[in-house]
Amino acid sequence: MLRKMTRQTRLKLRQAVLIGTFIPFCWLAMQIVHESGHVMAARFTGGPVAKVVLHPFALSRTDVSPNPHPGFVVWAGVTFGSLFPLLLWIFTRPFFVLMPHLFRFFAGFCSVANGVYLIGGTLMSGADPGDMIKNGASPILIIFLGILGMAGGMFLWHRQGKYFGIGPTPTEVKLQAVVASILLLVAVAVGELIWGSR
């Protein structure tokens, strides 16, 4: 009985550590991918990148000055930020057979986060959606795309809770997934702290 309780406690601890480290990793990595879209679009269109803010305790931002194609640059953030994680999951599935759910969850997280950002920013007329509107985008279109992004992310999350030890049919949380999640969070957080100190 004691051994069973110890194993139960160990599995609950794995679950807590996985969830507690992977969600913060997803948040930080989502911002990196989003800003990468802005940076690549700016460089592609000849706009010099003045500053990129990436820090564990700050909201990310990319400053382009002068910005010859602001409409293209602003849309590249949510577009690349949503599509790249999805393609990453699709193309890594055959190779990461032990942890495809982590890539799938990350793709869903990015899609939901960018969708919420589009809707919230449009309603508050701020951030990227505010710039999209200034550059001629319809608020209705932006909100529609935000809803689409959220729906796509929810679809990717559907029935994935079991891999995190939650839901009606939970599976055992793999130690490899916990270790990978911890290492990913540490790597991204330390990288951003170093980047932010420059």
Q: What pLDDT band is residue 1 in, cutting at 50, 70 and 90?
A: very low
pLDDT of 197 higher than 60: no
What are the backbone angles phi and psi of residue 107, rounded to the nearest 5°? Answer: -60, -45
Residue 177: pLDDT over 60: yes
pLDDT of residue 198: 47
How much is the pTM?
0.90
Give the domain ranges of the chain.
Answer: 29-172
Residue 145: its pLDDT value, please?
A: 97
Residue 12 confidence (pLDDT): 87
Give the helix, strand, coil percentages of the chain, each rounded to 5.
75, 5, 25
pLDDT of residue 167: 83
* Overall average pLDDT of the 170-174 stretch: 86
d(CA 36, CA 52): 9
